[in-house]
Structure 1
Amino acid sequence: MPLWKRNLLVCWFGMFVTGIGMSQIAPVLPLFIRQLGISSSGEINKISGLAFGITYIVSAIFSPVWGYAADKVGRKPMLLRASLGMGVIVFCMGFAPNVYVLIVLRLLQGAITGYSTACTTLIATQTDKEHAGYALGTLSTANVAGSLLGPTIGGFIEDRIGLQPVFFITGALMFVAFLTTLLFVKENFIKEEKKQLRFREIWNSVPEKQLTVVLSVTLFIITFGLYSIEPIVTVYVGKLSSETSHVALIAGLVFSASGLANVISAPRLGRLSDRIGVHKVILFALIAAGVIYIPQAFVTNPWQLMGLRFLLGLTLGGLNPSVNTLIKKITPGHLTGRIFGITISAGYLGVFLGAVMGGQISAAFGIRHVFYITSALLLFNAVWVYFNVYKKLEKQKQ
C-alpha cells in the first residue's frame, strides 16, 4: 500500500473518532446538565449552549497555533498530542461533579485540539497532485461524519446504558486513535531552518489572498449552516414526534443523516473536482445546499426531516474537500499548516456561531426561521463565490 494511502486510512479513523468526541455530547448535554443538578429549563438551555459552543470557539483560537507547530516540528507529533489529550479530557467528563467542571473540561478539549489541522496538512503535503482531490475528499468525510454521527452514537449509548458511558467509550476510542497514529503513521518531515515569521509576513507571502479569504468565509458559512440546527434539533424533533421517550436517539439519527450522506458523496465529488475543477463543485454544492434548507422548515415528521438532511449531506460532501484542495493549490508548501490552521479556525468559528445563533434565532422568531436564514446565507455565499472564485478561475483557464 502506498504511504499516502496508509496515512490517509489512519488519519481518517483518527479524525472520525475525534469528530465523534467533539459532537457526541450534543443530544445528551441537556440531560447530563439536568443530572448534574440544574432543574430550570431556561438555565439548562443557556448552560447547554455555553458548554457546547465553548469547545469550538477555543478551538478556533488554538487551531492556527497548532498549525504553526505542525509546520515547525512535524505533523505526527501534533496528531499524538491531540489524540491522547482529548482522550484523557473526554474520559474525565464522565466524572464531572457539577456543570462548572464540565464547562472547564469542554474548554480544555477545545484548547488541546489540532488533530484535524495536522491530519489535513499531512495528507495535503504528502499526497501527489494527481490524487490530492480524492485524498482530501476522503479525509473530509471523517471529521464531518464523526461530527454528525456523534449525536446518534451519544444518543444510542445514553438510551441503552446511561449518560456517563458516553464519555468513557469516546475517551477509549480516542486512545485507540492515539495508538494507531503512533504505530502506523509515517511522515517524511524535513524541518526548514527559517526565521520565525510574524502573521503579517506570513500573510504577505500568500500569493492568492482574496481567494484564501473567500474560501475561509465559505468554510465558515458551511459549518454555520450545518450546526445552526444542532442545539435545537432535539426540541424540533420533540415537536414533530410522538415518541417522546426516545427523542435524543431520534434527534441524533436526524442530525447524523447528513454525516452518512457526506461519507457517500465526498470521495466521489473529490474525484469529480479533480476532473472538472474544484470551483465548479463548490458553486454547485452551495446552490444545492441553499435550496435544500428551505423545505426543512415545512416538514411534518422526523423522517421527512431526516430525508432532507440526507440530501443536504450529499451536497455538502462536495464543499469541504473542494475548498481544501483549492487552498492546497494556492498555498506555498512551507505555509500549508498555518493556512490550514486559519481556515479550520474559520470552520470552528462557524460551528460556535451557528450553534449560538441557531438557538437565539429560534428563541426570537421560531425554529423554522433558522432554516430560512441559513438558506439565505448559503445562496449569498454562492453568488460571492461565483464572482470571486468561479469567474476568476474560468478566466485563468482561457
Structure 2
Amino acid sequence: MESWKVNLISVWFGCFFTGLAISQILPFLPLYVAQLGVSSHEALSLWSGLTFSVTFLVSAIVSPMWGSLADRKGRKLMLLRASLGMAIAILLQAFATNVWQLFFLRAVMGLTSGYIPNAMALVASQVPRERSGWALSTLSTAQISGVIVGPLMGGFLADYLGLRTVFIFTAVLLMVSFTVTLFLIKEGARPTASKAERLSGKAVFATLPHPWLVVSLFVTTLVIQLSNGSISPILALFIQSLAPDSTNIAFLSGFIAAVPGVSALLAAPRLGKLGDRIGTGRILLATLIVAVVLFFAMSFVTSPAQLAVLRFLLGFADGAMLPAVQTLLLKYSSDRVTGRIFGYNQSFMYLGNVAGPMMGAAVSALAGYRWVFIATAAVVLINVWQLWRAFKKAQPKSRDVE
C-alpha cells in the first residue's frame, strides 16, 4: 500500500479519537461551570462563553508559530505535541476547584491544540492532487464520527459517574491518539525553502488566480465555525429551560449535540460527489442557505425533540461545508503555496471558534437564548451574500457556480 494511504488511515483514527475526546467535554462545559459555583444567568452565560473561547483565542495567536515550526520540524511532531499536551491540560481540568482555574487551564489547552488542522495539512501535502478532494472528505468523516460518539459517551459518563470523570476519560482517549500518531504515522523528508526563497504573505496572494475568492473562503470558514460554536455555551442551558423537570440533562444535551454528526456523516461523501458533478461552490452556497433557514427555525422550538430534529437536518449541511471550502482552496492555489493557504485558513477557523461562543454568550446574556439562533442565522446570511459576490467576480474563469 502506498505510504500516503497508510498515513491517511492512521491519521483518520488519530482525528477520530481527538474529535471524540474534545466533543465529550464541550456540551457539558456550562454545567461544569455551574458546578464550580457560578449561579446567575448572566454570569453563567458569560463564563461559559469565556471558557469556550479562550482555548481558541490562544490557539489563533500561537497557530502561526506552530505552523512555522511544522514547516521546519515536520507535522508529525506537531501532532504528537498537540495530542500529548491536550491530554495533560484536560486531565488537570478534572481537578479544578473554581472557574478561574478552569479558565486558565482552558487557555493552556489552547497552547497545545491543533491536531486536526495539522492532520489535514499532512494529508494535503502527501496525497496526489487529483485525489485531494476525496482524501480530505474522507478525513473529515473521522472528526464527524468522533463528534457523534463523543457527546453520547460523555453524557452517559457525566450522568452516572460525574462531570469530572468525563475529563479524565477524555485525557485517556487523547493518549490513544498520541500512541496512534507515534507508531503508525510516517512523514518523509520534505524539501525546505531557504529564507530567500520563502514567499511573503503578499507574494503568496499574488500567485493566486482569484485572491478575493480565497479570502472570501477564509471568511466562510470563520462563519462556519462561528455558527457551530455560537450555541455551544448555551445549548445545555437552553435544553434545561425547555425541559426543567428532566433528570438527565447531560445525556440529553450530549444527544442533541451529537445528532448533527449522524446526518453529516451520511451527507459528506454524497454531497462531495455531487459537488464534483455540479460545482463545489454551488454545494457550499446551497448548504449555507439551508443553515440560515434551520437556525432561524430553531429560535421557535418549544421542546428538546424539536431542537433535535432541526439539528439533525442541520447536519446534512454541516457535512458539506468545510470539505467544500477545503476543496475550493486546493483548487484555487498552487502546490507551492497550498501549505500557506491552509495555514491562513486554520487561523480563520480558530478565530471563528473564538467569535462564535463569545457572540452566543453575549447575545444570550443581553437578549436570551432564542436570540442566539436568530443572530447566528443573520451572520450566515451575510456570508452567503459576500461569497456569492466573490464567485461572480471570479467568473467566467470559475465554473463552480455557473
Given the two structures, how large is their TM-score scaled by the length of structure 2? Answer: 0.91
The answer on whether the counterparts of 2:231 and 2:360 sit within 8 Å (CA) in structure 1 is yes
Shifted more, 109-118 versus 24-33: the winner is 24-33
- Name 1:296's counterpart in structure 2: 298
The answer on whether the counterparts of 2:45 and 2:364 sit within 8 Å (CA) in structure 1 is no
The secondary structure found in structure 2 opposite 1:191 is: coil
Number of equivalences: 398
The answer on whether the counterparts of 2:45 and 2:365 sit within 8 Å (CA) in structure 1 is no
The answer on whether the counterparts of 2:30 and 2:234 sit within 8 Å (CA) in structure 1 is no
Q: 1:389 aligns with which of 379, 388, 391?
A: 391
| Residue 129 of structure 1 pairs with residue 126 of structure 2 | no
> Following the alignment from structure 1 to structure 2, what is the Cα–Cα distance between the partners of residues 372 and 45?
17
The AA in structure 2 aligned to 1:262 is: A
Shifted more, 16-25 versus 78-87: the winner is 16-25
The secondary structure found in structure 1 opposite 2:132 is: helix
> Following the alignment from structure 1 to structure 2, what is the Cα–Cα distance between the partners of residues 14 and 203?
32
Shifted more, 207-216 versus 40-49: the winner is 40-49
- What is the CA distance between 1:210 and its match in structure 2? 1.0
Shifted more, 8-17 versus 154-163: the winner is 8-17
The answer on whether the counterparts of 2:42 and 2:365 sit within 8 Å (CA) in structure 1 is no
| Residue 3 of structure 1 pairs with residue 13 of structure 2 | no
- Name 1:315's counterpart in structure 2: 317
- What is the CA distance between 1:301 and its match in structure 2? 1.3
The secondary structure found in structure 2 opposite 1:134 is: helix
> Following the alignment from structure 1 to structure 2, what is the Cα–Cα distance between the partners of residues 286 and 271?
18
> Following the alignment from structure 1 to structure 2, what is the Cα–Cα distance between the partners of residues 148 and 69?
32
- What is the CA distance between 1:38 and its match in structure 2? 4.1
Sequence identity of aligned pairs in percent?
42
- What is the CA distance between 1:107 and its match in structure 2? 0.7
| Residue 240 of structure 1 pairs with residue 230 of structure 2 | no
> Following the alignment from structure 2 to structure 1, what is the Cα–Cα distance between the partners of residues 77 and 145?
24
Over 3 Å counting, the alpha-carbon distance change for 1:168 and 1:394 in structure 2 is: farther
> Following the alignment from structure 1 to structure 2, what is the Cα–Cα distance between the partners of residues 172 and 393?
50
Over 3 Å counting, the alpha-carbon distance change for 1:33 and 1:381 in structure 2 is: closer
> Following the alignment from structure 1 to structure 2, what is the Cα–Cα distance between the partners of residues 392 and 163?
50
- What is the CA distance between 1:310 and its match in structure 2? 0.9
> Following the alignment from structure 1 to structure 2, what is the Cα–Cα distance between the partners of residues 239 and 317?
29
The secondary structure found in structure 2 opposite 1:244 is: coil
- Name 2:256's counterpart in structure 1: 254
**Structure 2: 5+ residue stretches without partners:** none
The secondary structure found in structure 1 opposite 2:27 is: coil
| Residue 358 of structure 1 pairs with residue 360 of structure 2 | yes
- Name 1:84's counterpart in structure 2: 84
Over 3 Å counting, the alpha-carbon distance change for 1:325 and 1:179 in structure 2 is: same
- Name 1:155's counterpart in structure 2: 155
The answer on whether the counterparts of 1:63 and 1:117 sit within 8 Å (CA) in structure 2 is no
Over 3 Å counting, the alpha-carbon distance change for 1:358 and 1:41 in structure 2 is: closer
The answer on whether the counterparts of 1:68 and 1:341 sit within 8 Å (CA) in structure 2 is no
The CA deviation string for residues 204-239 of structure 1, in whole angstroms up to 9 with x for no partner, is 455532122100100111111111111111122122
Over 3 Å counting, the alpha-carbon distance change for 1:183 and 1:394 in structure 2 is: farther
The secondary structure found in structure 1 opposite 2:271 is: helix
The answer on whether the counterparts of 2:46 and 2:362 sit within 8 Å (CA) in structure 1 is no
> Following the alignment from structure 2 to structure 1, what is the Cα–Cα distance between the partners of residues 393 and 144?
28
The AA in structure 2 aligned to 1:383 is: W
Over 3 Å counting, the alpha-carbon distance change for 1:149 and 1:174 in structure 2 is: same
The secondary structure found in structure 2 opposite 1:179 is: helix
Shifted more, 106-115 versus 273-282: the winner is 273-282
> Following the alignment from structure 2 to structure 1, what is the Cα–Cα distance between the partners of residues 4 and 277?
20
The answer on whether the counterparts of 1:66 and 1:117 sit within 8 Å (CA) in structure 2 is no
- Taking only aligned residues, the RMSD between alpha carbons, in angstroms, comes to 2.4
- What is the CA distance between 1:321 and its match in structure 2? 0.5
- Name 1:54's counterpart in structure 2: 54
Shifted more, 285-294 versus 192-201: the winner is 192-201
Q: 1:277 aligns with which of 268, 276, 279?
A: 279
- What is the CA distance between 1:374 and its match in structure 2? 1.8
The answer on whether the counterparts of 1:124 and 1:136 sit within 8 Å (CA) in structure 2 is yes
> Following the alignment from structure 1 to structure 2, what is the Cα–Cα distance between the partners of residues 230 and 37?
20
> Following the alignment from structure 1 to structure 2, what is the Cα–Cα distance between the partners of residues 308 and 6?
37
Q: 1:208 aligns with which of 185, 210, 213?
A: 210
The AA in structure 1 aligned to 2:362 is: Q
> Following the alignment from structure 2 to structure 1, what is the Cα–Cα distance between the partners of residues 60 and 390?
25
- Name 1:140's counterpart in structure 2: 140
Shifted more, 11-20 versus 72-81: the winner is 11-20
The CA deviation string for residues 286-339 of structure 1, in whole angstroms up to 9 with x for no partner, is 122212222212222111111110111101211101111111222233433332
Over 3 Å counting, the alpha-carbon distance change for 1:314 and 1:47 in structure 2 is: same
Given the two structures, how large is their TM-score scaled by the length of structure 1? Answer: 0.91
**Structure 1: 5+ residue stretches without partners:** none
The AA in structure 2 aligned to 1:347 is: M
Over 3 Å counting, the alpha-carbon distance change for 1:108 and 1:144 in structure 2 is: farther
- Name 1:182's counterpart in structure 2: 182
The answer on whether the counterparts of 2:159 and 2:251 sit within 8 Å (CA) in structure 1 is yes
| Residue 167 of structure 1 pairs with residue 167 of structure 2 | yes
The secondary structure found in structure 1 opposite 2:58 is: helix
The CA deviation string for residues 147-195 of structure 1, in whole angstroms up to 9 with x for no partner, is 5654443322111211221111111111111111111112233132321
